[in-house]
Amino acid sequence: MKNLSAFLFSILDRFMRFVELPTVYLQKKIGVQRMGYLFVAPNMVLFSLFVFLPVGLAIAYAFTGGTNMLIWDRPFVGLENFSRLLNCGSYMNPASCEFDLFWTAVHNTWWYTLLNATGTLVMALITAVVLNRLTKGKALFRSIFFYPVLLSPVVVGLIWKWFLARDGLLNALVLDLGGERTIFLLEVWWSRFWVVYVSIWFHMGFFTLIILAGLQAIPRDIYEAAKVDGTSEWRQFWRITLPLLTPNLLVVAVLLLIRSVQVFDEAWVLTDGGGPGTANTFIVQFIYQTAFSSEVRLYGLASAASVLMGLALLALTLIQVWLAKKAEY
Amino acid sequence: MLKFLTRTRHHGKMDITDILSWLWLTLGTAVIAIPIAWAMLSSLKTEAEVNSFPPSLIPQSTVNTQVEGYDKDLSVWQWTKTDGETKQVALVRRIGIKATVVDMDKPEKTFQVPISEITQLKDVHFQWQNYTDPLERFDFFTYIKNTVFVTVVATILTLLLNSMAAFALSKYKFRGKNAIFMLILSTLMLPLSVIMVPAFIVIVGLNLADNLWGVIFATVATPTGVFMLRQYMLTIPDDLIEAARVDAASEFRIYWRIVLPLCAPALAVLAIFSVIWRWNDFLWPLIVLSSPENYTLQIGLNAFQGQFSVEWHYILAMTVIALLPVTIVFLVLQKYITEGVAGSGVK
Amino acid sequence: MAAIQLKNLHKRYESIDVMHHVNIDIEDGEFVALVGPSGCGKSTLLRLISGLEDITSGEILFDGKIVNRLSPAEREIAMVFQSYALYPHMTVKKNLSFGLENLNMDRAIIEERIQKAAKLLDLLPYMDRKPRALSGGQRQRVAIGRAIVRNPKVFLFDEPLSNLDAKLRVQTRGEITKLHKKLNTTMIYVTHDQVEAMTMAEKIVVVNAGRIEQVGKPLDLFERPANRFVAEFIGSPKMNMFKAKITKVDDSGIEVTSGTIDHFTIPVISESAKIGDSVTLGVRPSHIEIAESGIPLEITQLECMGHETFIYGSMQGESEELVAHLPHHFEAEIGDTIFLRFTSQFMHVFCDKTDQAFKRIEA
Ligand SMILES: Nc1ncnc2c1ncn2[C@@H]1O[C@H](COP(=O)(O)OP(=O)(O)OP(=O)(O)O)[C@@H](O)[C@H]1O
Ligand SMILES: [Mg+2]
């Protein structure tokens, strides 16, 4: 085994000597310090292709129309995509809009974001505080609560779809308790509830971990002082923990908002593409459908929606950066 | 166990807060575990049982037996007589509330019993075919192969490319270094969902649509990886690199023989994350890949459940396959993962 | 082996000049020490010579050839770092062979060189250990070994002993000197410990704030410091300094008067000195003698080590405290007054305007 790995390594090393040759030449040409450019180059090429260029393209496409994919085949339409997206009788009523699906998605995303962010924050905070109290078994429970984070959206969607199915365990329990068998994911309000519930279930562990790190950063002696004063634990939480944690929580909250706005994967799998009807259709799904899964691929319109969402996220990000800076002091 | 559960921070009586805490933890664990456990259990049930309601907890199957004089296997039932005596019988047919059964020891004679007096016998039975069938009869083997390919190649490239960039950003002085670093960091804030349309157009432009390399290339340059590795490399003394320079090592050799081995702990963490990310990726492969022979497991599974939405026994088995690698990685490396997340705030 | 010349060497980082037009000649096979206070630019100078750092202007010549643009490897230098900079993930053996492998040397030659160096430095028992499992002294030796195996033209040392304890330092000092005798290779050695410099080097370069203050043999620097900085920097305890005025200038020297010294003639070349100029007098603690009568000193502190004695005291009319070093046993009480005698041949005079020393009239 050891011999084998040594052998493999020697082959790899010989190969790397080969790769090395041109870099040695380059190093002589441009000098040692400028070799930094060579080392960042592959990364920068990929970033340019798949991040920076798309950002530029998103903006460019947002101002073009038609269904051609190549930008030079697309007519410039100015702000038309935006104006059509924003063309509404009343923003409160998606049905009055030219693109009612977009506004339905905006409304759905808005409510989802609000509920999911609040729910996750509260649950994660409670869990983190409870975990932080533990003297034993902390690592174990931390792992348990974190585990769902590592699952894939498809897996999570399917696990819950099965759990909530007509023949699922939940219905069996409900029936057992004398309730009525319900097809949860086909009822508008139930499905919305479960989408939020599953999201919280899915992502809570991640935020718990971050809040927990914040809790552990609070110096122990502050609590010791309070204990000497005979402050009750409940009071300690409200008077010490929460105020000291607030900067952290704000950052987490904004992060949560940013993530929530992008809801798509697990909800999409869980609700079979945003159903029932459009009850769980969110903005990202709208963009995806507009660009990829509708008969006519409206890249311009999808890009315009992306740009709008990007701007919202940018605003949130700026708030987050600002809060994070403040939290450092 | 009880002692462990009741241990408190005060080394004394449990107070109300302790009770509430433990309640929360127990409830939370149940809420997390039950749906997963349920899916796992169900994945081992026969098709008939998956579709029966109310469901049984443990995967079971009916017990059948061969009885002389009958062509087909008969199901075995437990007959509880009115006087409390029990006996196993084989069911021949059912009419209304009466069942015609046969005593397995004396197969010549059939007799009738009320249905209310018999219950069907069941055995614990794991339907492993749920796992093997989709691999043989559907494309799941291809999906898994594709996913492994993407995961392995993307992870190797992620480690190489990001460590190279991190090396440049931590150990060299060149014009524009800080600008490049800020640029890379800024992409941390830019989610795929915002740029998925133009990113796909780029993929089409590169002729990588419906190609696994299209999935790989777009994901290997990660700001998280660059950032994490750069932080780690900053702790490697510059002296070491200069010593290697004096030792006639070329810059590339310094990277390959000095810096990479020394970054092994950070590379390991990034590798773990990369494997999990790539295994779980959904939205991007969904956009890039269009023909089933190129699907990754996640995409394939999603497509399958859309197409064969009643075949829950297969869907669930493949769901378990999809969560298994991640689960094993987590079980073995949970410490690194939770600490990595807490330390860098990435997931 | 190489002779090294630095010509008008200048180095600036962004907007700060850290090396100001430095000129040094180092002969082939010479052991040169660079000394100076922390932050004066010793390491920078060494790194410029090594090629790890680019020079801003000027020339570096190895054996008469300009090497400005050559890499460290091409200059064929070897360097021992203060932190040793051993590769933590490689065994001692790998540490020694890495540099040779980089040169694509033959396996057999590599093995032979390693064995030779390891024997020389007593490293054979540790060849398969990682640096982590070595003591400070052993690491040190590996670092030197790594330099030796490459048969460099020049050895560069950057404070190689500062991480060792006092005893080991003395020992290693001796070993490096021996090594130099044996290999006869040019060595440049940075240290801020002047004892190291005085005992090891054949030539000392005193650096201060990016400038060369003086270059010379160790005893030259001790006996004939070119300026106040060198006078104060070399020698421990520090040279005693006090203010004085020139009262007479002639061919036999300069006559000075201060609070305690009256019309004292010191045999230095008077050159630009004028009567009335203020100067600083310097006298080393070890050049002060105790006498029956002379300059009175009130003892404020006494350190008796048995074989030597340090006396601290104040002289009437002088603000600075004076230190005297006697190479023998001496008994006194704090508060006692003793009498000192200065010998004019051992006194130094520094011009207050330029801080330069007046040259001594050699006998
Ligand atoms: N990369 C750099 N950028 C800017 N200034 C630098 C850099 N490296 C060194 N300097 C400055 O150059 C001066 C000389 O530094 P150098 O390391 O040569 O000092 P030194 O004599 O070796 O000190 P020490 O005895 O503490 O090692 C210092 O003032 C230092 O701040
Ligand atoms: Mg230094």
* Tokens, residue A11: 């082959």
Residue A109: per-residue pLDDT: 94
Are C158 and C252 in a shared domain? no
Confidence of residue B10 (pLDDT cuts 50, 70, 90): low
Q: Verify that C189 and C291 share a domain, yes or no.
A: no
> Which of the listed residues B72, B90, B120 is the one where a domain comes to its end?
B120
CATH number of the domain where residue C246 is located = 2.40.50.140
C42 lines ligand 1 (CB under 6 A): yes
pLDDT of residue B13: 62
Shared domain for B175 and B303, answered yes or no, is yes
Is the same domain home to B236 and B320?
Answer: yes
Range of the domain at A25: 2-72
- Please check whether residue B73 touches C, CB under 8 A: no
Taking contacts as CB-CB distances below 8 angstroms, the residues of chain B near C82 are 239
Tokens of B49: 């049982």
Q: B78 and B143, same structural domain?
A: no
Residue A94 in domain: no
Q: pLDDT digit string (tens) for B13-67?
A: 677 888 889 999 999 999 999 999 999 988 888 887 778 777 777 887 777 777 7
What pLDDT score does B111 carry? 78
Q: Which structural domain range is residue C247 located in?
A: 240-360
Contact A16 B184 (CB under 8 A): no
Interchain contact, B335 vs A40, CB within 8 Å: no
The verdict on C134 and C249 lying in the same domain is no
Percent of chain B with pLDDT over 90: 48
Q: Using CA atoms, how far apart are residues B58 and B56, in angstroms rounded to an integer?
A: 6
Ligand nearest to the CA of C41: 1
User: Do C154 and C244 belong together in one domain?
Assistant: no
As to burial, measured by CB atoms within 10 angstroms (0-12 exposed, 13-18 middle, 19+ buried), residue A194 is: buried
Residue B51 inside a domain? The answer is: no
Q: Which of C167, C199, C232 is the last residue of a domain?
A: C232
State yes or no: pLDDT of C216 exceeds 90: yes
> Does residue B321 belong to any structural domain of this protein?
yes
Last residue of a domain, one of C175, C210, C232: C232
> Tell me, what amino acid is at C183?
L
pLDDT at residue B347 tops 60: no
Nearest residue of chain C to residue B258 (CA atoms): C87
CB pairs under 8 A between A and B: 289
Task: Give whole-number Cα distances, C343 to B182, C126, C245, C246, C250, in Å.
Answer: 67, 55, 18, 18, 19
Chain A residues with CB inside 8 Å of B281's CB? 152
> Are C260 and C138 in the same domain?
no
pLDDT over 50 (residue B1): no
pLDDT at B125: 77
Regarding whether A167 and A311 lie in a shared domain, the answer is yes
User: Which residues, given as ranges, of chain A have pLDDT below 50?
Assistant: none
Domain presence at residue B280? yes
pLDDT at residue B8, as a whole number: 47
- C40 touches ligand 1 (CB under 6 Å): yes
Q: Examine residue A273 and state whether it is found in any structural domain, yes or no.
A: yes
Q: Comparing A82 with B91, which gets the higher pLDDT?
A: A82
SS3 B68: coil
Most confident region among B323-337, C23-37, C260-274 by mean pLDDT: C23-37
User: What is the tally of structural domains in chain A?
Assistant: 2
The mean pLDDT of C206-232, rounded to a whole number, is: 92
Task: Quote the CA–CA distance of B125 and B108 in Å, as a whole number.
Answer: 31
Q: Which of C19, C42, C48, C193 to mutate to test the pocket of ligand 1 (most atoms within 8 A of CB)?
A: C42
Which of C9, C13, C17, C159 for a ligand 1 pocket mutation test, highest count of atoms within 8 Å of Cβ? C13
Cβ of C173 closer than 6 Å to ligand 1, yes or no, is no
Task: State residue B67's pLDDT score.
Answer: 76
Provide the 3-class DSSP secondary structure of residue B76: strand
Q: Report whether A98 contacts A84 (CB < 8 A).
A: yes
Give per-residue pLDDT as tens, C189-200.
Answer: 999 888 889 889
State whether B242 and C52 contact (CB < 8 Å): yes
Name chain C's partners: 3 or more CB pairs within 8 A.
B
Q: Is a pLDDT exceeding 90 seen at residue C260?
A: no
- Higher model confidence: residue A76 or residue C214? C214
Across the interface, whether the CB atoms of A40 and B164 are under 8 A apart is answered yes
Q: What is the ipTM of this complex?
A: 0.89
Task: Provide, for chain A, the percentages of residues in helix, strand and coil under a 3-state DSSP scheme, each rounded to the nearest 5.
Answer: 75, 5, 20
Mean pLDDT of C163-177: 88
Domain match, B296 and B156 both: yes
Confidence of residue B103 (pLDDT cuts 50, 70, 90): confident
In short, whether C41's Cβ falls inside 6 Å of ligand 1 is yes
In a domain, B324, yes or no: yes
| A114 and A52 in a common domain | no
Mean pLDDT on C295-317: 86
H-helix or E-strand containing A207? helix A188-216
* Tokens describing residue A268: 């999409």
Instruction: Give residues whose Cβ lies within 5 Å of ion ligand 2.
Output: C 43
Query: What local confidence, expressed as pLDDT, does residue B182 receive?
Result: 92
Is residue C166 domain-shared with residue C246, that is, in the same domain? no
Q: Do B193 and B262 share a domain, yes or no?
A: yes
Confidence class for position B12, pLDDT limits 50, 70, 90: low
Which residue did the predictor score with more confidence, C362 or C117?
C117
Amino acid in the structure at residue C110: I
Q: How confident is the model at residue B145 (pLDDT cuts 50, 70, 90)?
A: very high
Q: Taking CB atoms and an 8 Å cutoff, what residues of chain B touch A292?
A: 200, 287
Last residue of a domain, one of B120, B147, B166: B120
Q: Which residues from C are below 8 Å from B245, CB to CB? A: 52, 71-73
Q: Kindly report the pTM of this predicted structure.
A: 0.87
CATH assignment of the domain containing A258: 1.10.3720.10
On average, the pLDDT of chain C sits at: 89
Using the 3D structure, point to which of C204, C232, C260 is the last residue of a domain. Answer: C232
For chain A, say whether B207 makes contact (Cβ under 8 Å): no
Residue B54: inside a domain: no
Whole-angstrom Cα distance, residue A202 to residue A214?
21
Nearest CA to ligand 1 atom 26: C38
What tokens were used for C286?
């070890």
Residues A193 and A303 in one domain: yes
Residue B50 falls inside a structural domain: no
Whether residue B133 is contained in a domain is answered as no
Best mutation target among B202, B252, B311 (most A Cβ atoms within 10 Å) is B252
Range of the domain at B34: 2-42
Return the CATH number at B179.
Answer: 1.10.3720.10
- Highest mean pLDDT out of B121-130, B148-157, B303-312, C144-153: B148-157
Shared-domain flag, residues A8 and A118:
no
Q: What is the CATH number of the domain that holds B104?
A: 2.30.30
Q: Are both A148 and A241 inside the same structural domain?
A: yes
What's the total number of domains in chain B?
Answer: 3
SS (H, E, C) chain C: CCCEEEEEEEEEECCEEEEEEEEEEECCCCEEEEECCCCCCHHHHHHHHHCCCCCCEEEEEECCEECCCCCHHHHCEEEECCCCCCCCCCCHHHHHHHHHHHCCCCHHHHHHHHHHHHHHCCCHHHCCCCHHHCCHHHHHHHHHHHHHCCCCCEEEEECCCCCCCHHHHHHHHHHHHHHHHHHCCEEEEEECCHHHHHHHCCEEEEEECCEEEEEECHHHHHHCCCEHHHHHHCCCCCCEEEEEEEEEEECCEEEEECCCCCCEEECECCCCCCCCCEEEEEECHHHEEEECCCEEEEEEEEEECCCCEEEEEEECCCCCEEEEEECCCCCCCCCCEEEEEECHHHEEEEECCCCEECCECCC
Number of structural domains found in chain C: 2
